[in-house]
Amino acid sequence: MAKLVFSLCFLLFSGCCFAFSSREQPQQNECQIQKLNALKPDNRIESEGGFIETWNPNNKPFQCAGVALSRCTLNRNALRRPSYTNGPQEIYIQQGKGIFGMIYPGCPSTFEEPQQPQQRGQSSRPQDRHQKIYNFREGDLIAVPTGVAWWMYNNEDTPVVAVSIIDTNSLENQLDQMPRRFYLAGNQEQEFLKYQQQQQGGSQSQKGKQQEEENEGSNILSGFAPEFLKEAFGVNMQIVRNLQGENEEEDSGAIVTVKGGLRVTAPAMRKPQQEEDDDDEEEQPQCVETDKGCQRQSKRSRNGIDETICTMRLRQNIGQNSSPDIYNPQAGSITTATSLDFPALWLLKLSAQYGSLRKNAMFVPHYTLNANSIIYALNGRALVQVVNCNGERVFDGELQEGGVLIVPQNFAVAAKSQSDNFEYVSFKTNDRPSIGNLAGANSLLNALPEEVIQHTFNLKSQQARQVKNNNPFSFLVPPQESQRRAVA
């Protein structure tokens, strides 16, 4: 709890490192929600090396939350082509491991191949050199700022499943609220174009007329005249056609297969126990806020004011094996990534929460003061109820693996696990979300004077005391059987 207490304190009144909401509001009435549904993806685009599924961003709850959701599956040796988006992205790795790269314009290429003596004679072939490459694994949260291009590669047999959210209502997006992915390569349609066409009512049909015949690809290089690219890259026309995605087999799509596997200059993959060590290290306090603003305490501070964005940490593990923030062995655990422990989220103005609930354990009724929540069920199933400002139950149903539920800001929500282990990741549209519990220890009702509870709920004094104090658990309530057992 201490962490959460301080999290809130810092949220609301700390020096330079202050987190305000900086998001666009949804259009008129988009949040007047009387019925929510658990949503499954409604479109799937196959690629050579995997597939991308999307949820319709024009659905009212997504419009209210101002986000677009997609899920990408990469088979062995699959490379997701580099792309950038018109809003910040959070990517959660549901399954698998691999490597990814992000290209920050202006940052130096700091990963260098060793000198290759046998090639010294060929002065035109310098050794390779590129920007930092990162490993990722299940449970990682990856932060991608607006407009920054990234790619991803699966070098294991297990398919990589990555769920990602684009915050289109972010003020960093100066375009309209439609999600857009800009591919640097290939001939595939960007995955959200379909929904854009729906919205426009077919005006996209004139597309053919406006485009030159030679533009057959649909990446951002496809649109330029080949002569421009020839000059800009200093390469021949055959290469230009490849840059424009023209020589492409029709259906390789956004995910291509690298035959024989990708060789890049990067430290060897570490063994599992090393990864754990690495993550533990990452979870050290990065930024300790005092009355003099942000101060670094760890000897090896890895992020923040005294470092540049070029060396910023871009992933943090919040999955099952990470060290939880809230833990009750009979009820479950919650791990959060906010801008306090994962500073890159400060740029995104987003955060995430991973939760795991044991069978029949309950997440008490609560609301998020300053963020929408996009809850994605990773595993198992839970009974969830959501209530709006009029006291209406706008959702009452099961959330199952792969389903998505959007809980708007201030709406109250409670959940009870129906399976042995219900796991979810909840993306939140604020980098320091603040949660108000309605029941249990440290809840709002626990902090009200007894007489206020008594009179506001029309109870007897003894009853008010029960409402305040009967539940000794905060956040997660163990199932009643285990409570009894614990007492006995």
Q: Looking at residues 382 to 411 of the shown chain, list those that interact with its own copies (rule: CB under 8 A).
A: 385-394, 396, 408-410
With beta carbons less than 8 A apart as the criterion, state whether 78 and 154 touch: yes
Nearest-CA neighbor of 243 among 261, 260, 218, 264? 218
Q: Which of 64, 161, 331, 399 binds its own copies (CB under 8 A)?
A: 64
In angstroms, what is the minimal distance from the CB of 355 to its own copies? 16
Residues 96-115 that bind its own copies (CB under 8 A): 101, 103-109, 111
Buried b (16+ CB within 10 A) or exposed e, 184-216: bbbbbebbbbbbbeeeeeeeeeeeeeeeeeebe
Measured between alpha carbons, how far is 292 from 343 in angstroms, rounded to an integer?
18
- β 404-407/373-379 pair status: antiparallel
Residue 427 neighbours by CB distance under 10 Å: 26
Angle ∠(160,67,33) on CA atoms, nearest 5: 125
Spatial CA neighbour of 186 closest among 260, 258, 82, 100: 82
Of residues 206 through 235, those in contact with its own copies by CB under 8 A are 206-207, 210-212, 215, 217-225, 228-229, 231-235
74 scored as a contact of its own copies (CB under 8 A): no
> 34 or 273: whose CB is closer to its own copies?
34
CB of 274 to its own copies, least distance (A): 23
Contact with its own copies (CB under 8 A) among 4, 162, 314, 337 = 4
Applying CB under 8 A, does 47 fall inside the site for its own copies?
no
Exactly one of 282, 307, 320, 401 binds its own copies (CB under 8 A); which one? 307
Q: Kindly state the smallest distance separating residue 322's Cβ from its own copies, in Å.
A: 22
Nearest to 177 by CA among 29, 66, 64: 66
By the rule CB under 8 A, 161 interacts with its own copies = no
Beta strand 255-257 with 181-183: parallel, antiparallel or unpaired?
unpaired
- Using CB under 8 A as the criterion, what x/- string covers residues 312-351 for binding its own copies? x------------------------------x---x----
CB of 193 or CB of 320, closer to its own copies: 193
38 binds its own copies (CB under 8 A): no
Nearer to its own copies, 94 or 164 (CB): 164
Decide: is 116 part of the binding site for its own copies (CB under 8 A). no
Options 420, 452, 484, 486; binder of its own copies; rule CB under 8 A: 452
Task: Specify the residue, 317 or 370, whose C-beta has the smaller distance to its own copies.
Answer: 370
Using CB under 8 A as the binding rule, whether residue 12 contacts its own copies is answered as yes
In angstroms, what is the minimal distance from the CB of 232 to its own copies?
A: 4
Site for its own copies (CB under 8 A): which residue of 45, 72, 362, 399? 362
Stretch that binds its own copies, among 199-207, 269-277, 320-328, 351-359 (CB under 8 A): 199-207
Q: Which of 55, 92, 354, 367 binds its own copies (CB under 8 A)?
A: 367
59 binds its own copies (CB under 8 A): no
Residue 79 CB-half CA count within 13 A = 16
CB nearer its own copies, residue 31 or residue 139: 31
Residues forming a β-bridge with 62: none
Q: How far apart are CA 313 and CA 287, in angstroms?
A: 13
The 8-class DSSP code of residue 141 comes to: E
CA angle (482, 486, 488) in 5-degree steps: 115
Size of the site for its own copies (CB under 8 A): 193
Contacts of 159 (CB under 8 A, 6+ apart): 50, 73, 74, 75, 76, 95, 96
- Beta-strand (E) ranges in 391-433? 393-400, 404-407, 412-417, 421-428
The nearer residue to its own copies, 320 or 418, going by C-beta atoms, is 418
User: What DSSP string runs through 88-134?
Assistant: -EEEEEEE-EEEEEEE-TT----EEPPP-GGGTT-TTSPPPEES-EE
Residues 257-296 that bind its own copies (CB under 8 A): 258, 262-265, 291-294
43 binds its own copies (CB under 8 A): no
The least distance separating its own copies from the CB of residue 155, rounded to whole angstroms, comes to 12
Shortest spacing between CB 438 and its own copies, in angstroms? 7
Sheet with strand 67-74: strands edge to edge: 43-47, 50-54, 67-74, 160-167, 89-95, 140-144, 315-317
Burial of 137 (0-12, 13-18, 19+ CB in 10 A): buried
Helix/strand/coil for 371: coil
CB 306, min distance to its own copies, A: 4
**Minimum distance of its own copies from residue 152's CB (angstroms):** 10
